[in-house]
Structure 1
Amino acid sequence: MNDHQSTLPDPQRILAAVVFSDAVGFSARMAADEERTLGLVERDLLLMRQICEEKQGQVLKSTGDGLLMYFDNALQAVACALEIQKKLTNQSKSLSDEDVLNHRIGIHLGNVYLKDNDIMGNGVNIAARLQTQAEPGGICLSKTVYDEVKKTLSVKATYLGLRELKNISEAFPVYQILLESPRTRLRSPAPPLRQDYRNRQVLLDKVSHYWIEGVLETSLQRRVALELGLDSRDDLLDRPWSLLWRSQDTSDLLPPETRAIAKFDDLGASRSLLILGAPGSGKTTTLLEIARELIERAKYDVNLAIPVIFNLSSCPGKRQTIAAWLVDELNRKYQVRREIAKTWLQEQKLLLLLDGLDEVNPTNRESCVEAINQFYQDHGQTDLIVCSRIGDYEALQTRLQLQGAICLQPLTPEQVKQYFLNSGEDLAAIAQIIEEDSSLQELARSPLMLSIMSLAYQGMSASELQETVTPEERRQHLFDTYIQRMLVRRVADKPYQDQQTKHWLSELARQLVKDSQTVFLIEGIQRSWLSRKSHKFEYNAKLFSILGAMVGVTFSIILPNSATFFLFEIGLSSFFITTITGAVLGFVSAVCWAVFRQIFGPRVFSPLGVFSYSAVTGAIAVLLGLQATRFYEDWIIYKKSYLVFGDQEALPFLSVIYAASAILFLVVAKNPITPYNKIQWSWFWAKEKLIDGMLWGLGFGVLFGAFSMFYVFIALANHPGFSTSANPNLARFLAPFILGIPLALIVQLLGGLIAFLIGGFTGTDVDRTTKPNQGIWQALHNSLILGTAAMVILGTLAGLVGESILAGLALGIGVGFASGGIAVLKHGLLRLLLRSQNRIPWNYAHFLDYATSCIFLQKMGGGYIFSHRLLLEHFAAMKSQPGGQTK
């Protein structure tokens, strides 16, 4: 029967099953093509009416893009909903994407009032709100419905947890049935494997732990629980398909109590939304509230994309695509292996929540918007939300090509006044002053500033609040007062002086602004923190010298007579000679690099610049070695020692060795400090890296073999024994090949073995645990584990072939440094230099935890974030004075 012919008994209160349906993305599609959308809705509603009648239900009314249906019991209602979604799915298989509409359905069993072909009551409201909780193509059931049908239900119903439904006083238990739909078929055609499922859940837990528990639930704005108005600002988007012309600065105020998540859901498949607002208006809080809802949904439905929050402050613009940047961020911030991150992006399994477009370096902001638009075109099925300050966004020439945009409205004067009235005597003074102070009134309209006022001005008298005049002075005074009040709270157990705390926080804030970062990781400290050239030279000189000494030690262990490589023996141990010589070589390399960098600038990084630097370094190191030889010449003769190569014979060999070492030092110094994940063995990656290692080993083997052949040829030319042999020329020709070729093959096999060991121990797909500086501690752990394993294996092999076990031990040390030790060395050296300059405290994690307890920072996993961007900017603007003072 149809809705015009249905008749109901006289008004009465009865138990009934109420069904609400709704078309996903109806508003957006109407804006794009009104006539076509109305035809699609009419087609689907006709199908629903037919099924409702078949299942002995009644259509009471049409809501435009959906139906309100009534059934005598829950079994009939659920059977009708299942049949509707099933037939809609089958229908969609023969339609183009443009002709497919997805629908949501909500069902509740409860008491309702029946009157004049209509039903009313709380049960109807619950059914209407339930359909908003369903995924496109899904059916949401209340617990009363689920309890009625669970024994006879032929499909799986997933418990979504307690949900807050609009205008419903208490949280409501909700269940969902999700049949195959066009959207879910594109998302995931098959259940995930166990490891894939684990990776997914770990990432969901991390996003929830970092951002929801660590930021949202401790944010300053959350202290002011006031409803914010939303303004539709689609006029600020680049939507070439839209036929609707808008004048500049046009906005449409959305109905009161409209939630951002509802606006996002209304956009349908491939949703994309821009959230705008003034500084401190609650943009990030709104984004995180959306994220919390999406995370809850994704936890119970593996077909849904994984919501992940990224801060755009580090967006590189044209230097890197958004996809490549996202892979880096997933690896660095969420400890996701790059291969997994790339797969998730390619298969469009992530729902991207991008905060802080306004925090991108201004020179990169336009190109960042262009990169987001390009990414969205290339990944059309990826849902996306972007946040930005409205002023910075409006200043851009390029607009985002998203589906919808909303702008958060400031608090109304009535809301601010009511807030202070409800706060009691503690804020009585500010409530009195704000009536006459226009600058305070303007600041209080921001949820962030209102929250800071409540903390900073609590218990203060009216006279203390009347010291400033201009809005800028008022804001400065407000933040200064807030900082001081938060510090005073920790009088009993204060581990740091207040001025020192402000100094270190201002240093951190300035560095984050300089690096265009928002989230700070201790393991993320890089060489760029050293601002002065003298500091960078000191870092390079110490690092190069340490690396040179280590190279010398390795030579002395592998080749006991390796002191001869450095031109002289002076009666001291080979270990001592090579260590000192290697350290000197490192220092010379640092000096040469500083000179070349100063003279040639950025051109020094060109192949010609690097070659020139290494050649000069090698030549200077050889000259210094010759001078040292001459200085000790008399003592060497007295000790009846000798130069193995002789001065002229050694020069070519040594200059190349020194030049290669100089390049090695430079590569190690220039590469960023990379944190490490937990290791696990992988035969696949071990085999992959074995081939790569053998190729690299072959290259080095050919190099060392060639030098060995050269050395042997020169040495034999002067050896008296060969001049008396039967065929001295043939002997001199064959001997270098007999020695050099096996050496090249040995180095090739050795390179393959080392790569096999290091490559086999890969990082976990998604590391579950996170703590401050975890990446560096894990690098140390990996270095010790792999270095020890390599020592045992290579030392045993060396003993079996008749070589010194120490040679295997030395190579094991090299493996340890290559698998994390160098990162630990660079990080530790950098931390020592920064501490000596009073840029950071000794125990950085302890200090950051203290700052978190003062509500200056928020802790998210192993990282830290300032409580708000405005607070970060305030600390960054503080001027440092000698001795770590700030003002």
Structure 2
Amino acid sequence: MIFERLRIFVSSSMEELAEERAVLKSALSELNIDAWIFEKDAGAQSQTIQQVYKKEIDRSDLYIGLFWRNYGDYTNDEFEYATEKNKDCLIYEKREGIDGKRDPKLQAFLDPMGKVESGLTVQWFNTPKELRDCVKKDAANWQAQKIRELRALNISYKASPLERAEQGELKTLLDKVKHFWVRGVLERTIQRANLMELSKDNQPEAVGNPWEAVLELPFEGARAVPMGKNITDIYDELEHSVLILGQPGSGKTTTLLTLVRELILRAEKNQTLPIPVVFHLSSWVDPEQHLNDWLVDELNDKYQIPGKFGKNWLERQRLILLLDGLDEVPSKNRAACVEAINRFAKNFGLYGMVVCCRLKEYDELKAKLTLNGAICLRPLTDFQIDTYVGEAGVELEGLRNALRQNLAFREIASSPLMLNLMCLVYKGYETENLAKSETPEDWIKHLFSAYVDLMFKKGGISEFAYSREQTLGWLSWIARRLSERNQAMFLIEDLQPSWLSSRVQRWGYLVGFSLVLGLLMGLASIVFWGAGSYIIGETNSQTEYLQPREWIIWLVATPIWLLAFGLMENLGSKSGRPILERVQPGFRRAAVTGLLSAGLWLFVMLSVVLVVTQAKPTLNDLLFHLLWSGLAITFIWAANGRIRSNTYSISTVESLRWSLGNACPGARRGFVIGLLVGFPLYFINHLMGPPWVPHFGFAIVGLGIGGILGGLKPHVNDAKTVPNQGIKLSFRMAILIALNAIWLVAIAIGVAKFGDFEYSPNPAFMLYDHYVPMLGIFIGLSTILFLWFGGLDVIKHYVLRIILSASGQTPWNLTCFMNHASGLDLMQSVGNAYIFVHRRFLEYLAAFRPK
């Protein structure tokens, strides 16, 4: 059932009016309304009578009271409970033969209802036929009112004036929808259909246009859609609120995109009209998330529209929402998704909304969408299939015979998608070659395998950089990962370590990430400390610069620390959610991350120092290696991990925006970091002047740097249109921000000189510009900035790509391969993302196991 039928609770004494109740139930059924009558529908239950009727009143939309002579035990209670729940009420009173025979209690119950202040009108009747006529008329009027109330939720709103900046963003969004979905998907779908080149004069309407459809309206039942009536006509007739249903391959998405094309033309001609935007519901994974928040995120992620614009457009009716793939939402979350859509329509109102879903998955839902109507695309009939294939002539003689002989094969051909593929790939096939498959699954495998062979033969296999086996193997891996996550779009920059399938791969990623990042951080630390004449064995006559053993400490300890932290961070992942992710994001998770990383840092560094020095470490070892460096690094590590995993989460930093609201907490964090970093200066006995001067000098520098950098927040670039551009932009942004260390070092040197942070002639660490090489400070600070503003995610992404390539899951040059698959019509490019040519092809490849 596409829409929930209206329900009516019928209250009446069971001792009389049995015929009238049967007539009433029949009349309501003709109006597609369910009537609940106690003696017919209650059955045996473990609840009390009162609990049963209250439950049914709660579920009902209308209360009907049917009365004659007797006063039922629960008559008054049922009516009062219905009015308490604000249910609509209709009262029918039989007047024939009541003189002196009516229970006084019933009369006392009915008397107040005829008064003006009660708000009810009692309808009299004498015969079952009169009751039938009255009920059908009154229920039909009430039903029409309910439809008007439903459509009032989805009425059009007059658009308010737009700012110039918003006009530009809307135009950009419209162009992207047109480029991604109309040119990138719809036109290529039509092009593939034209590849059949059948030698016939015309094409049956049902195949070229899947509008052999049934239209169903809420509370009104179903009717066939007249031939020649297109989706745009239906969309207008239903006041821009439509549900599109059908079997797999019936043409739901093509129908949706056909409507998108027409709506784009309207928006281009009249710039005051809202613009259509396609969203794929497969990415709606949080059942607690409001639909408006998800839409804003999708506009930002998929179309690169700033959140402030997306939020305003939704509130001001600037967008027509076209939601594809309701059936691809995880089954456990699908009902919540329907409720979220209904709640959004009620709270925000709609100019237009269209939702697509497979019929089977929608029928399984108890909650239904409150849209104005639904179309259900019908499978092709036997006559349409035979006519379509028959007009191709002798080229499809083998296919035509196979369809006659095998009912399972004919059932698959009832899908326009599958029939198109059959006519494309089975030209010239003999009947014997098509008779090898028996089950529908075997037919589908054979069909898609033949389709892949044909796509390679079109240009000659030698022209392609990848073989058929490589292509199918890599695509099947991508299809499985998308299916596991209920996703339809593949973005290279969205690859995550969680996509790794084996323990060896996960270990390889963790070791590789720890090694690359550890060596980078170790080298930066060596340059930082070495340039400042840091020593472990200090003499009074000269300063020893960093020795090989100190190099070993940094280059060995840092990777080991990262490896240990990665292992700890992954604890509990087998149960579905690592332990750290169970901690509330924000301050609590940052605190836990900081304590864990600090403890590991102390243990690893102390162990390495003891092994390398082969003796008890000196005070300087502990002071600089453990306290100063440890505090700084673990504090930064904790701040970075307050929301997401430091090791197993990859996101892009494509551009940055500064705001005062973000700068204030950043300044506070910088002040605290400065205090912690400056704290060890209290213990340097050769520092000239009071030790609190450089201590608070670091705090002041941290305050300024934290305010400037803390105000910067990642932003998705609005010009991203090529694959993996997000990672490339992140790398560029990380380099640009790292270069800002030059002026940050200048600020630190200026504060040092202004505060007169001077040391004795034989210092262990100098801050004023005559002695301190700025290179060390610059390298240390630029490394931190590089990692914080995207570099860390770039490292994780390419380490992951190396592991995937080395294990044979994907090629190294993924962009080249995805374009290769797109050129073969196995995938389609949608902006900087890729989708499979059809959901059924994705499902085929997900189940495919290469040799």
After TM superposition, the score normalised by the length of structure 1 is 0.68
Residue number in structure 1 paired with 2:823: 853
User: Residues 654, 775 of structure 1: CA spacing in aligned structure 2 closer, same or farther, 3 A cutoff?
Assistant: closer
Distance 2:708 2:335 in 1: 48
Distance 2:736 2:637 in 1: 29
Distance 1:698 1:772 in 2: 40
Structure 1 residues 364-403: aligned runs within 5 Å: 364-403=333-372
Distance 1:573 1:297 in 2: 72
Alpha carbons 1:592, 1:613 under 8 Å: kept: no
The counterpart of 1:585, out of the listed 557, 561, 571, is: 561
SS in structure 2 at match of 1:310:
strand
Residue number in structure 2 paired with 1:673: 650
User: Residues 400, 629 of structure 1: CA spacing in aligned structure 2 closer, same or farther, 3 A cutoff?
Assistant: closer
Alpha carbons 1:276, 1:405 under 8 Å: kept: yes
The counterpart of 2:234, out of the listed 238, 263, 272, is: 263
Which moves more between the two structures, 593-602 or 259-268? 593-602
Distance 2:806 2:466 in 1: 17
Post-superposition offset of 1:700: 2.0
Which moves more between the two structures, 608-617 or 809-818? 608-617
Post-superposition offset of 1:562: 7.8
Residue 363 in 1 paired to residue 332 in 2? yes
User: Residues 315, 651 of structure 1: CA spacing in aligned structure 2 closer, same or farther, 3 A cutoff?
Assistant: closer
Distance 2:237 2:722 in 1: 38
Distance 2:555 2:788 in 1: 19
Residue 485 in 1 paired to residue 454 in 2? yes
Alpha carbons 1:562, 1:578 under 8 Å: kept: no
Residue number in structure 2 paired with 1:739: 694
The counterpart of 1:772, out of the listed 723, 726, 750, is: 723
Distance 2:176 2:322 in 1: 14
> For residue 454 of structure 1, what is the amino acid of its counterpart?
C
Residue number in structure 2 paired with 1:499: 469
Structure 1 residues 431-446: aligned runs within 5 Å: 431-446=400-415
User: Residues 230, 424 of structure 1: CA spacing in aligned structure 2 closer, same or farther, 3 A cutoff?
Assistant: closer
Deviations 1:748-806 (A, max 9, x none): 112223345x45x9655x42x51111111221222233333x14433444565544432
Distance 1:380 1:671 in 2: 40
Structure 1 residues 398-413: aligned runs within 5 Å: 398-413=367-382
Post-superposition offset of 1:272: 1.4
Distance 1:409 1:487 in 2: 33
After TM superposition, the score normalised by the length of structure 2 is 0.70
Distance 1:496 1:650 in 2: 50
Alpha carbons 1:772, 1:845 under 8 Å: kept: yes
Post-superposition offset of 1:201: 1.3
User: Residues 777, 374 of structure 1: CA spacing in aligned structure 2 closer, same or farther, 3 A cutoff?
Assistant: same
Residue number in structure 2 paired with 1:83: none
SS in structure 1 at match of 2:808:
coil
Post-superposition offset of 1:617: 5.4
SS in structure 2 at match of 1:214:
helix
> For residue 738 of structure 1, what is the amino acid of its counterpart?
V
Identity %: 29
Residue 326 in 1 paired to residue 303 in 2? no
Distance 2:171 2:681 in 1: 61
Post-superposition offset of 1:446: 1.2
Which moves more between the two structures, 360-369 or 338-347? 338-347
Residue number in structure 2 paired with 1:467: 436
Alpha carbons 1:603, 1:609 under 8 Å: kept: no
User: Residues 425, 791 of structure 1: CA spacing in aligned structure 2 closer, same or farther, 3 A cutoff?
Assistant: farther
Deviations 1:215-241 (A, max 9, x none): 111116744852334544536xxx5xx
Residue number in structure 2 paired with 1:227: 209
Alpha carbons 1:548, 1:586 under 8 Å: kept: yes
SS in structure 1 at match of 2:828:
strand
Distance 1:634 1:432 in 2: 85
Residue number in structure 1 paired with 2:28: none
Structure 1 residues 112-511: aligned runs within 5 Å: 183=156, 186-188=158-160, 190=161, 192-219=162-189, 222-223=193-194, 226-234=208-216, 244=220, 251-268=222-239, 271-489=240-458, 490-511=460-481
The counterpart of 2:805, out of the listed 830, 835, 838, is: 835
> For residue 794 of structure 1, what is the amino acid of its counterpart?
L
SS in structure 1 at match of 2:404:
coil
Post-superposition offset of 1:198: 1.7
Distance 1:616 1:748 in 2: 26
User: Residues 193, 653 of structure 1: CA spacing in aligned structure 2 closer, same or farther, 3 A cutoff?
Assistant: closer
The counterpart of 2:733, out of the listed 782, 785, 799, is: 782
Residue number in structure 1 paired with 2:708: 753
User: Residues 619, 599 of structure 1: CA spacing in aligned structure 2 closer, same or farther, 3 A cutoff?
Assistant: farther
Distance 1:455 1:472 in 2: 19
Alpha carbons 2:284, 2:294 under 8 Å: kept: yes
Distance 2:559 2:281 in 1: 42
Post-superposition offset of 1:606: 4.8
> For residue 743 of structure 2, what is the amino acid of its counterpart?
I
User: Residues 703, 693 of structure 1: CA spacing in aligned structure 2 closer, same or farther, 3 A cutoff?
Assistant: same
Alpha carbons 2:572, 2:578 under 8 Å: kept: no
Which moves more between the two structures, 864-873 or 670-679? 670-679
> For residue 363 of structure 1, what is the amino acid of its counterpart?
K
Alpha carbons 1:210, 1:861 under 8 Å: kept: yes
Structure 1 residues 795-834: aligned runs within 5 Å: 795-798=745-748, 802-803=768-769, 804-806=773-775, 807-834=777-804
Residue number in structure 1 paired with 2:664: 691
User: Residues 285, 563 of structure 1: CA spacing in aligned structure 2 closer, same or farther, 3 A cutoff?
Assistant: farther
Residue number in structure 1 paired with 2:88: none
Distance 1:852 1:198 in 2: 31
Residue number in structure 1 paired with 2:49: none
Residue 643 in 1 paired to residue 609 in 2? no
Distance 1:565 1:604 in 2: 37
Residue number in structure 1 paired with 2:548: 572
SS in structure 1 at match of 2:208:
coil
Alpha carbons 1:563, 1:578 under 8 Å: kept: no
Distance 2:836 2:730 in 1: 27
Post-superposition offset of 1:350: 1.1
SS in structure 1 at match of 2:548:
coil
SS in structure 2 at match of 1:434:
helix
Alpha carbons 2:560, 2:604 under 8 Å: kept: no
SS in structure 2 at match of 1:435:
helix
Distance 1:481 1:529 in 2: 29
Deviations 1:309-342 (A, max 9, x none): 0111121141322112212222221122222222
User: Residues 339, 673 of structure 1: CA spacing in aligned structure 2 closer, same or farther, 3 A cutoff?
Assistant: farther
User: Residues 460, 601 of structure 1: CA spacing in aligned structure 2 closer, same or farther, 3 A cutoff?
Assistant: closer
RMSD, matched Cα: 3.7
Distance 2:781 2:478 in 1: 39
Distance 2:246 2:525 in 1: 62
Alpha carbons 2:561, 2:600 under 8 Å: kept: no
SS in structure 2 at match of 1:215:
helix
SS in structure 2 at match of 1:811:
helix
Unaligned runs of 5+ in 2: 1-30, 34-147, 195-202, 539-544, 754-767
> For residue 746 of structure 1, what is the amino acid of its counterpart?
V
SS in structure 2 at match of 1:492:
helix
Alpha carbons 1:586, 1:662 under 8 Å: kept: no
Residue number in structure 2 paired with 1:622: 602
Distance 2:562 2:537 in 1: 17
Alpha carbons 1:549, 1:581 under 8 Å: kept: no
SS in structure 2 at match of 1:345:
helix
Alpha carbons 2:482, 2:490 under 8 Å: kept: yes
Alpha carbons 2:496, 2:648 under 8 Å: kept: no
SS in structure 1 at match of 2:463:
coil
Distance 1:567 1:514 in 2: 57
Alpha carbons 1:229, 1:410 under 8 Å: kept: no
Distance 2:724 2:554 in 1: 34
Distance 2:210 2:439 in 1: 26
